[in-house]
Amino acid sequence: MSTCVLLRHGRSSANAAGVLAGWMPDVHLDETGRADAAAAARALVDAAPVLVVCSPLQRCRETARPLLDALPGLRRLEEVDLGECRYGAWTGRAIAELAQEPLWRAVQDDPASVTFPAHPEHETESIAAMADRTWAAVERIGRTVDETHGTDAVWVAVSHGDPIKSVLANAVGVGLAGFQRFHLDPGSLSAVTLGERPALLFANVTRSPVGDRLAHARRTDGPTVGGDTGGAPVTR
C-alpha cells in the first residue's frame, strides 16, 4: 500500500501558551511554528508526495502551505476526520490546570475509557471515537491513492498530535493501550504503511529529509528473518 507521511502541525499560539486548543477557531502558527512548517516542507520535497490531505483547522492549513508552495500543482484536500480530537469542556483550558483533574489520569493510563466532558459550545467525543475516525480516514485515502497513483506513492496527512498518535499506535498493533507511548514534536513527520499488515516506518522526525529514509524503510516487502539487512531488496 502507499505510504502515508503524517505531519503534525507546527507550533501554534495555543501550544506556546500551554492551552488545549481542540477545535477553537483562529488558532494560528506562531513564528516558531512557521519555521516548523518550512522545515517540514524542505524535508518532504525529496519524497515527491502525490497528495496532501489536511485537517480543516487553520494551524494545519498553515503548516501545509510551504509544501504546497514548494511543489506547485500538488493536490490538496481537506478531511474533517483528520481534525483534532473534540475535547468538549476541556477546550481552551490550560494544560497545567487540566493535569490536576481526575480525568487526566485516565487520559494517560486508560485512554480507551475516556470521553471528554460535554460543553454547550464545544463538541465532545471519546478518544476511541477519535482514533476510529482517523484510522478509517487514513485507510480510505490510502486506498484511493493506491488506485490512482500506485502502491509506491507517498502522500501527506497534516493533522494533530492525538490523531497522529492514534494512527501510529494502530500501525504497530498496540491500540489505545499504547497511545501515550508516542511523543510527537510540533512539525514532526512520521510514516506508516497500511493494508493487510500495517507498519510504522519512522516517527517524530524533524528537520531531516525523508525521501531516502522512506526508500530504505520500504526496501523489502516485509520483515525478514533476522531483520532488514540494509542492503539490496530480497529477491524471490
Q: Cα–Cα distance between 236 and 132 in angstroms, integer?
A: 36
Closest to 54 (Cα-Cα) out of 32, 81, 18: 81
- Give 116's DSSP letter: P
- pLDDT for res 208: 77
Q: What is the largest CA-CA distance in the chain?
A: 60
Name every residue whose Cβ is closer than 8 Å to that of residue 28 and which is 6 or more positions away in sequence.
Answer: 12, 13, 58, 59, 62
pLDDT of residue 222: 52
Distance, in Å, from the CA atom of 184 to the CA atom of 9, rounded to the nearest integer, reads: 10
The Cβ of residue 92 has, within 10 Å, a number of other Cβ atoms equal to: 17
Are residues 183 and 165 in contact, defined by beta-carbon separation less than 8 angstroms?
no
Give the pLDDT confidence score for residue 192 in this predicted structure. 97
User: Burial letters for 198-207: b for 16+ Cβ neighbours within 10 Å, e otherwise?
Assistant: bbbbbbebee
Collapsing DSSP states into helix, strand and coil, what is residue 130? helix
Q: What is the pLDDT along the chain (236 residues), one digit of tens a residue?
A: 889 999 999 999 999 999 999 999 999 999 999 999 999 999 999 999 999 999 999 999 999 999 999 999 999 999 999 999 999 999 999 999 999 999 999 999 999 999 999 999 999 999 999 999 999 999 999 999 999 999 999 999 999 999 999 999 999 999 999 999 999 999 999 999 988 899 999 999 987 788 888 877 765 555 544 544 444 333 32
Q: Which residues make beta-bridge pairs with 124?
A: 87
Tell me the C-alpha to C-alpha distance, in Å, between residue 183 and each of 12, 28, 96, 158, 217.
Answer: 17, 22, 18, 16, 20
150 in Cβ contact with 171 (< 8 Å): no
